[in-house]
Amino acid sequence: MDGYGPALDAARTFADRWLASLPTRPVGVPADPAAVRARLGDLPDDGAGAAAVLDDLVAALEPGLVASGGPRYFGFVTGGSLPVALAADWVVSATDQDAAVAVMSPGAAVGEEVAGRWALELLGLPSEAAVGFATGAQTANIACLAAARHALLAAAGWDVEADGLAGAPTVTVLLGAAAHATVVQARRLLGFGARHAVRVAADAQGRMRPDALREAMAAAPGPVLVCAQAGQVNTGACDPLDAIAAVVAEHPDAWLHVDGAFGLWAAASPRRRHLVAGAERADSWAVDGHKWLNVPYDSALAVVRDGTALATALSVSAPYLPLGAADPSTRTLENSRRPRGIPVYAALRALGRTGVADLVDRCCDLALRAAERFAAGGVEVVNDVVLNQVLLRVPGVDVADLARAVAEDGTCWVGTTVWDGAPALRFSVSNWSTTAEDVDRSVACILALRDGLAG
């Protein structure tokens, strides 16, 4: 076996070239999966040198790689990687620490502890809350709702860890009409069926209506799990969390969870934190690192006010595992895992409070700029652009055709969705490196392609 040097040199050479190309390479690739597969080949009998493998590997993959970390990728809600976060992620890989149990890596455990504490401060969440570093808002949602399940049923006199769900008091799950699909999945995985879930009416922006929530809660027979949202994936709208928390507080046995995958970062901006006012009154929160904070995949935080509920719901127990409350694996679905909180630390350390606020505000301001230009070009802006999402309808043009044309052109990349029963184009500004010029160029490109299709 070669030592580490040649392989890492090959990786570094590729990374430098790839990262330098992000601002200029075509954003959407007309990738040919079959070509990539053919180039990767069959399982060989004999091994090969590490550096040669690296060179072959990147050559095979590159035609199928998307410049989604670059400044003109506006699809989904996609952050790039801050240089410092990427570098810290390399350190995480190189040191190969297991963050399951503190004794396996006190450095990783304390690094994540500090990153978690800083994140709570920035997000305005209770300092006593437990933080688990999850792979995404999806698993963070599952971890949070598992804690909710434990606590709600315990309060109703039911030990779900011992007795399971059969015969348990019915927990009614209340989700906003425009809740994210992963919250629905989390509900289902935790054994809360659709028959005991209610979609609470939302307004035109997708914000849960507190009056409708009050009605739904009054109709629920027992414990209630309310899943609110900060940052609707199409509109960016945030549920009125303060009013929702007030409604939830009237109920004797209720848990309020906030899926704030990207929207909760608004709390870090003095200009926009009013959008998520009241978030701190919830019981649990899911928030991504790999979206708006721009740390590499994968990264999210599961935050639960009652750390004991979380640890009880997720606990594992074995004589060889010296697990205590301070051990990270009591806060995540994963047992062995990379310490993905370390790149979060690096991002927060490099940005500071003002830097995170600036990152949030810059993306929001650029979204507004895009919306103004689209509107001036005759494209309908469907949403109130309060955060970093712009939702568009394009009169006279099929948005799927337009999105395809944009991908083929390569200047930028946008996705599609269905909103309020009609197809729409999504334009999400989530990358730290996106500039006003990137936005202007992309809007001009989309408008020109629209003209071509309409003509």
Ligand X SMILES: *Cc1c(COP(=O)(O)O)cnc(C)c1O
Binding residues (CB under 6 A) for ligand X: these are: 77, 136-138, 180, 182, 229, 231, 233, 259, 261-262, 288, 300
Find the shortest distance in angstroms from Cβ 182 to ligand X: 4
- Give, in order, the Cα–Cα distances in Å from 49 to each of 45, 54, 90, 288, 436: 14, 9, 21, 37, 45
Q: Are 398 and 418 in contact (CB under 8 A)?
A: no
Taking the least distance from each CB to ligand X, the nearer of 69 and 231 is 231
Structure tokens at 353: 């409070």
Beta carbons within 8 Å of 12's beta carbon, 6+ residues apart: none
- The nearer residue to ligand X, 182 or 294, going by C-beta atoms, is 182
3-state secondary structure the chain: CCCHHHHHHHHHHHHHHHHHHCCCCCCCCCCCHHHHHHHHCCCCCCCCCHHHHHHHHHHHHHHHCCCCCCCCECCCCCCCCCHHHHHHHHHHHHHCCCCCCHHHCHHHHHHHHHHHHHHHHHHCCCCCCEEEEECCHHHHHHHHHHHHHHHHHHHCCCCHHHHCCCCCCCCEEEEECCCCHHHHHHHHHCCCCHHHEEEECECCCCCECHHHHHHHHHHCCCCEEEEEEECCCCCCCECCHHHHHHHHHCCCCEEEEEECCCHHHHHHCCCCHHHHCCHHHCCEEEEECCCCCCCCCCCEEEEECCHHHHHHHHCCCCCCCCCCCCCHHHCCCCCCCCCCHHHHHHHHHHHHHHHHHHHHHHHHHHHHHHHHHHHHCCCEECCCCCCCEEEEECCCCCHHHHHHHHHHHCCCECEEEEECCEEEEEEECCCCCCCHHHHHHHHHHHHHHHHHHHC
Q: Which is nearer to ligand X, 137 or 397 (CB)?
A: 137
Nearer to ligand X, 72 or 291 (CB): 291
Query: Shortest approach of ligand X to residue 270 CB, angstroms?
Result: 23
Q: Select 168 or 230, whichever has its Cβ closest to ligand X.
A: 230
Q: How many CB atoms lie within 10 A of CB 3?
A: 8
Q: How far is the CB of 309 from ligand X (least distance, A)?
A: 21
The minimum distance between CB 230 and ligand X, in angstroms, equals 8
Residue of minimal Cβ distance to ligand X: 136
Is the CB of 259 or the CB of 327 nearer to ligand X?
259
User: In whole angstroms, how close is the CB of 261 to ligand X at the nearest point?
Assistant: 3
Structure tokens, 387: 């955060």
288 contacts 300 by C-beta, under 8 angstroms: yes
Q: How far is the CB of 286 from ligand X (least distance, A)?
A: 7
Least distance CB 135 / ligand X (angstroms): 7
Give me the least distance between CB of 297 and ligand X, in Å please: 8
Closest to ligand X by CB, 58 or 333: 333
Least spacing, CB of residue 41 vs ligand X, in Å: 31
Residue with Cβ nearer ligand X (75 or 210)? 75
Pairing of strands 389-393, 422-428: antiparallel
CB of residue 300 vs ligand X: minimum separation in angstroms?
Answer: 6
Least distance from ligand X to the Cβ atom of residue 291, Å: 6
User: Judged by CB, which is closer to ligand X: 280, or 288?
Assistant: 288
The smaller minimum CB distance to ligand X, of residues 81 and 411, is found at: 81
Cβ proximity to ligand X, 160 vs 295, nearer residue: 295
